[in-house]
Homo-oligomer: A and B are copies of this chain.
């Protein structure tokens, strides 16, 4: 179980990450885009393919590992973060990715998700948010909007949804981001950032389910509307959006965000400037929702903090340093002993 000597290999390509399994999502499903972008980003990282592991739970999105020519596990519903934690702690040299859905990761698996975030275990969590249970054929999920009619809510859902990013921030997430299947280039960028983050990287990916919740994100993905309805976050850049880049976000005296017309209603200097290290700003951004606000995409928060897995190994080193490497015979014979002859 010691780290394998890394063989010298020619640089990998996207194709190297495609498994031999037929992809079995519905034609047009947003999952295809996400798969392709991950397969595009991984070769750039220079990590040998055998050192990458993708772990998923159950759901359409959780079929992800089957299509990745890496190590992978399609586990049980909601438990991928826990399984990934065990793997990463036992094998810190591996690059561990979790593929999960809004049901898998936030409904049945919500507890594991928040505990991984709290501990900051070094793994990348891709949460495919289609705001529906796809695999079980269309029940509302914990991210479905109030009023959604679904198989299990024929008169409209009454559950207030989670905002996955707010939940992740509340759990102490050190890297929290959002991307959308319909903007693959931006998604790639966010994936790349996540891949380089040390600690839990939590990426909510808006994903269109063409069968059970088609068009849920059209409002912000359709070319025509996009510039007015979504806001691309860039560290150090003001929060400006609109086709004419004429709208900004500022805080009102109650510390609540508001949209203003740059020029007409205020000047650029009032505009909030994105800062990935500000705890407060990430929280405010996570509250920007349609119809009043554009939907932010990009990295909301990225800060560096000790990871749990590294901590475990440092502590082991430390104890070994102090006590010496364990000797089994000594261990068995420790404590008060006596001899019978």
Contact = CB atoms under 8 A, between A and B. Distances in A.
Interface of A: 107-111, 114-115, 118-120, 142, 155-156, 158-163, 166-172, 251, 254-256, 275, 278-281, 283-284, 287, 305-306, 308, 311-312, 315, 318-319
Identify which of A109, A159, A283, A308 gathers the most chain B CB atoms within 10 Å of its CB. A283
A163 B158 contact: no
Contact of A120 (B160, B168, B278, B305): B160
Identify which of A156, A166, A287 gathers the most chain B CB atoms within 10 Å of its CB. A166
A114 B167 contact: yes
A164 to B, nearest CB: 10
Q: How many copies does the complex hold?
A: 2
Identify which of A114, A156, A170, A275 gathers the most chain B CB atoms within 10 Å of its CB. A170
22 contacts: A110-B111, A118-B160, A119-B159, A120-B160, A155-B318, A156-B315, A158-B308, A158-B315, A159-B308, A160-B172, A160-B305, A160-B308, A162-B172, A163-B172, A166-B171, A169-B170, A170-B170, A254-B275, A255-B281, A256-B279, A280-B280, A280-B284
A284 B308 CA distance: 25
B255 A280 contact: yes
B287 A279 contact: yes
Given A109-B111, A118-B160, A256-B280, 14 more contacts: A110-B111, A111-B111, A119-B160, A155-B318, A158-B308, A158-B315, A166-B169, A166-B171, A170-B170, A251-B280, A254-B280, A255-B278, A255-B284, A280-B287
Nearest to A108: B111
Nearest to A272: B255
A115 to B, nearest CB: 7
A118 B254 CA distance: 24
